[in-house]
Amino acid sequence: MDLPVDEWKSYVFQKWSLLPKSIQVTISTAETLSDIFLHSSLLLQPEDEMFLQNLSRGYLVEKDPNAPLFYREEGNKKFQQKDYMGATVLYSKGISHSRPHTADISLCYANRSAALFHLGQHEMCLKDIMRAQMHGYPERLQPKMMLRKAECLVTLGRRQEASQTISDLESSFSAKPTLAAAQFQILQTNLCRLKMKAQEKESLTETFPAALTKALEDMDLKGENGQVPSASSSVSLRTDPLRGRYLVATKDILPGELLVKEDAFVSVLHPGEMPPLRHLESKWDTRVTNGDLYCHRCLDHTLATVPCDGCSYAKYCSHDCMQQAWDLYHSVECSLGGLLLTLGVFCHIALRSTLVARFEDASKVIRKLCSEIRNRDTCSPERETLVQTLTCDLGGESENKGKMLEPPVPGCDLNGKYESNYNAVFHLLPHTGNHSPEHRFLCALSVSALCRRLEAAGCYKPAAAVPPGSGSELDVWGVAMLKHVLQLQCNAQAITTIQHTGSKENSVTNSRQVRLATGIFPVISLLNHSCSPNTSVSFISNVATVRASQQIGKGQEILHCYGPHQSRMRAAERQQKLRSQYFFDCSCAACQNEKHSAATGPRWEAFCCRSCGALMQGDDVLICGSTSCMESVSRDHLISRLQDLQQQVGMARKLLRNDKPERAIQLLLGCQRDAQSFLSGEHSLVGEMEDDLAQAYAALGDWQKSATHLQKSLQVVEVRHGPSSVEMGHELFKLAQLFFNGSRALGSTLKPRGPHLGQKQGRPHLRQLGIALHAIRMFQQDTDKSIPTRPSFL
């Protein structure tokens, strides 16, 4: 996903293995990125480009004139089954393959408006109705769609517009007497219903989750930071020979304080499970991917995507987003969709970064790149050409030649300001020497192939600082793109979102954190790693926020987790992952404490003694930790029992999915009895079983038992992830759903129990509302340990 597809990687690695030893040594010992790029690009042969082109053709990214009818018919089947969400996505796929101002696109928009109407998305429905009309929706089908428009307007409280729409409909019916009677009767029936809905609408107020979401989105940084504009005044940028650039607290910081709010310099939506056509049974894929539900520019969630006019892959939340993307980068990327999917997200981000840089004053960055390209001792003709291209026509360069000033901190301007711009992106470290020669060759050859394709298509316009007509301007940006690809392994941020699982009929829904996109955030890249960080990172669309997760003292470093978190991995595993992807050994407090502690393992993986219940200790042979007990057992034996138990729990979950909660409860209770004989009460599987039992009892409407088991699950989650973790927020959110659903069903007789819920006498509704608000607040603040915010691909 981040790197090129396996077929291209295998092809390039084989090409590398067949190179003469002397050429391998030349590339392996190259000291500059320009040398790596130039040597590798000379090795790119026409047959290599042909192989890559054949791989790229496997992705259907062009508009297929036969696809709209297929997707519209498949969407109609979903619509008839009342699967309106599935129908919406399929109609969207049909829209993406349709040309503007055709019957195909107008019919797909109209059908999607009907699905959106049934989903209660009335604003989106109105926009689709307008789009259908704009693209020439047939006159004979207009009345039904206009009636839908009137109902949306009444539901939204826009009565004047609704009255005008109904009046227009009546006039239209009068002009068609053969249709007037039947249609007018339908109109009158629906009009009465619409008026009743309008009265109900007036009594509704905004729900607290929506209000809370808006409050979080509108939160701004406190105080102006003249040094780092995307950070609050509570932090300052420092530099150190060992730690590099980093952020420290300039005053005492309280938990929850917003420290950084930064827009991605660029971001690329992950295609999700989008296999090439050769891996599919049908020519047209009907599965739902991220690309069907999120805007490809701003990453906003949307059910009513607006497609690019030139390709079927890029989709947006609005025409404005589509136009902005086209102006910034998509006019170049549009014809390269298959190639970019083949080369991976990192190559895509590298290209997009250089395209966006065209709209900034990149002259200082180009001079820096020039100094990197020029060899300190000798200068080959190829490098000299690049240097001349870069330094030509920079404006005043001749006067300042040899006098180029460097800022005190890399990435800052001459005034010491560190902004989220291309200058900051350019100065992120690529760690060139840490990457293997094969990996550098793969990246360089991939970027070279991309540059060749851009040159052949004639679709790349250089930055203003690079004069048109120079033969090597694309190579200049090829070197820059290679640098960005290598930077991304250590500096890319995985943009995540929360997705809910389960049907609308479920009283309690699960959720999971999923990776949505990859982006570059130059300010967040300043944060160093800790396996037990003092901040949490969350995302709203393509905006990242960093908040303090604990109290941070003045002068203390602001720390961030790159993925390996102490609550998910042991120290040895964390060190291996950090060393392989980020090229350093972690010496944070969590790693030091674990190194000096007894090797008993984390509590959520602990086994207990079957005789006395004490924790078992040891390696291959476990011995009871109680001095008065001599019980011992093989670790392999207990692991075998754990695996058998996990299979039984899996069977219970399958029964739950198949709407057989009674049988699932019987099986889970048996699993619980078995677990008590060898698993610690804080073992993660014990918590999972409590969670499963909560869902099963909720399905039966036994809210009290459901809440009891969910509160036991909370205790296990808190032990492993901490009281302020996103995992704790997820569980609290489910508990809040139980309280609301249970109170509604049982007349407020469901009462919270347990130490987490604050046993105070008083009004149960207010107490439950407070719990729910707290749950949702935590639920919306994603920590960075569930999914690495710096993506792992090794």
Model confidence over 14-62: pLDDT tens digits? 999 999 999 999 999 998 898 999 999 999 999 999 999 999 988 889 9
Q: Which residues are bridge partners to 515 per DSSP?
A: 496
> Which pLDDT band, with edges at 50, 70 and 90, does 399 fall under?
very low
User: Is the predicted pLDDT of residue 742 greater than 70, yes or no?
Assistant: no
For residue 51, the tally of other CB atoms under 10 A from its CB is: 17
86 Cβ contact list (under 8 Å, min separation 6): 75, 78, 288
Claim to verify: residue 29 and residue 173 sit in the same structural domain = no
Query: Percent of the chain at pLDDT above 70?
Result: 75
> Could you tell me if residue 571 is inside a domain?
no
Residue 261 pLDDT: 94
3-state SS record for 745-793: HHCCCCCCCCHHHCCCCCCHHHHHHHHHHHHHHHHCCCCCCCCCCCCCC
Query: Percent of the chain at pLDDT above 90?
Result: 48
Mean pLDDT across 332-337: 93
> Could you tell me if residue 608 is inside a domain?
yes
Claim to verify: residue 29 and residue 133 sit in the same structural domain = no
Residue 779 pLDDT: 43
DSSP readout, 200-256? Answer: HHHT----HHHHHHHHHHT---SS--SS-TTB-TTEEEEEETTTEEEEEESS-B-TT
447 Cβ contact list (under 8 Å, min separation 6): 37, 347, 350, 478, 481, 482, 485
pLDDT, the chain, mean:
80
Q: Is 362 helix (H, G, I), strand (E, B) or coil?
A: coil
> Could you tell me if residue 536 is inside a domain?
no
Between vectors from CA 305 to CA 155 and to CA 134, what angle results, nearest 5°? 70
Give residue-wise pLDDT tens across range 710-729.
889 888 888 877 776 667 77
Mean pLDDT across 275-304: 80
Mean pLDDT across 76-81: 95
Claim to verify: residue 431 and residue 369 sit in the same structural domain = yes
Residue 406 pLDDT: 54
Residue 27 pLDDT: 94
Residue 140 pLDDT: 82
Residue 17 pLDDT: 95
Count H helices and E strands in the chain, helices first. Answer: 31, 15
Residue 791 pLDDT: 44
> Could you tell me if residue 91 is inside a domain?
yes
Residue 511 pLDDT: 64
For residue 731, the tally of other CB atoms under 10 A from its CB is: 28
User: Is the predicted pLDDT of residue 215 greater than 60, yes or no?
Assistant: no
Claim to verify: residue 644 and residue 775 sit in the same structural domain = yes
> Could you tell me if residue 138 is inside a domain?
yes
CA–CA distance, 422 with 436 (Å, rounded to integer): 26
Residue showing tokens 């129990």: 753
Q: Report the number of distinct structural domains present in the chain.
A: 3
**What letter represents residue 126's amino acid?**
L
> Which pLDDT band, with edges at 50, 70 and 90, does 600 fall under?
low
Claim to verify: residue 485 and residue 634 sit in the same structural domain = no
Q: Which residues are bridge partners to 725 per DSSP?
A: none
Residue 281 pLDDT: 55
Mean pLDDT across 218-233: 84
User: Is the predicted pLDDT of residue 277 greater than 80, yes or no?
Assistant: no
Mean pLDDT across 656-682: 92
User: Is the predicted pLDDT of residue 192 greater than 70, yes or no?
Assistant: no
Mean pLDDT across 362-383: 51
> Which pLDDT band, with edges at 50, 70 and 90, does 236 fall under?
very high
CA–CA distance, 9 with 442 (Å, rounded to integer): 7
Give residue-wise pLDDT tens across range 51-70.
999 999 888 899 999 999 99
Between residues 124 and 773, which one has the greater pLDDT? 124
Claim to verify: residue 11 and residue 98 sit in the same structural domain = no
Q: Are residues 522 and 411 in contact, defined by beta-carbon separation less than 8 angstroms?
A: yes
Q: Are residues 411 and 421 in contact, defined by beta-carbon separation less than 8 angstroms?
A: no
Q: Are residues 455 and 476 in contact, defined by beta-carbon separation less than 8 angstroms?
A: no
Distances from the Cα of 130 to the Cα of 82, 113, 149, 169, 353, angstroms = 24, 10, 9, 16, 35
Mean pLDDT across 518-538: 93
Q: Which residues are bridge partners to 540 per DSSP?
A: 543
User: Is the predicted pLDDT of residue 754 greater than 60, yes or no?
Assistant: no
> Could you tell me if residue 254 is inside a domain?
no
CA–CA distance, 407 with 405 (Å, rounded to integer): 7
Residue 373 pLDDT: 52
> Which pLDDT band, with edges at 50, 70 and 90, does 578 fall under?
very high
Between residues 778 and 586, which one has the greater pLDDT? 586
Residue 446 pLDDT: 97
Q: Is 196 helix (H, G, I), strand (E, B) or coil?
A: helix
Please give the DSSP secondary-structure letter assigned to residue 261.
E
Give residue-wise pLDDT tens across range 86-99.
999 999 999 999 99
Residue 396 pLDDT: 34
User: Is the predicted pLDDT of residue 393 greater than 80, yes or no?
Assistant: no
Mean pLDDT across 120-128: 94
Claim to verify: residue 87 and residue 17 sit in the same structural domain = no
Between residues 275 and 486, which one has the greater pLDDT? 486
| The last residue of a domain, from among 180, 196, 212 | 196
Claim to verify: residue 54 and residue 189 sit in the same structural domain = no
Between residues 776 and 283, which one has the greater pLDDT? 283
Please tell me the least confidently modeled range out of 181-195, 436-450, 645-659. 181-195
- Residues written for the chain: 794
Between residues 201 and 742, which one has the greater pLDDT? 742
Claim to verify: residue 630 and residue 740 sit in the same structural domain = yes
Please give the DSSP secondary-structure letter assigned to residue 603.
G
Claim to verify: residue 372 and residue 441 sit in the same structural domain = yes
Residue 513 pLDDT: 74
CA–CA distance, 764 with 768 (Å, rounded to integer): 6
Residue 492 pLDDT: 93
Nearest to 464 by CA among 612, 386, 362: 362
Mean pLDDT across 677-701: 90
CA–CA distance, 519 with 618 (Å, rounded to integer): 43
Mean pLDDT across 541-551: 91
User: Is the predicted pLDDT of residue 747 greater than 70, yes or no?
Assistant: no
| The last residue of a domain, from among 196, 218, 242 | 196
Residue 289 pLDDT: 86
> Could you tell me if residue 281 is inside a domain?
no
| The last residue of a domain, from among 149, 171, 196 | 196
Between residues 199 and 393, which one has the greater pLDDT? 199
CA–CA distance, 108 with 72 (Å, rounded to integer): 6
- Percentages (nearest 5) of helix, strand, coil residues in the chain: 55, 10, 35
Distances from the Cα of 431 to the Cα of 32, 766, 777, angstroms = 11, 54, 38
> Which pLDDT band, with edges at 50, 70 and 90, does 285 fall under?
confident
Nearest to 234 by CA among 534, 537, 554, 528: 554
Q: Which residues are bridge partners to 547 per DSSP?
A: 258, 536
> Could you tell me if residue 585 is inside a domain?
no
Claim to verify: residue 479 and residue 615 sit in the same structural domain = no
The residue segments making up the domain with residue 35 are: 6-59+338-378+411-458+471-491
User: Is the predicted pLDDT of residue 781 greater than 80, yes or no?
Assistant: no
Instruction: Read off the CATH number of the domain in which 179 is found.
Output: 1.25.40.10
Claim to verify: residue 612 and residue 709 sit in the same structural domain = yes
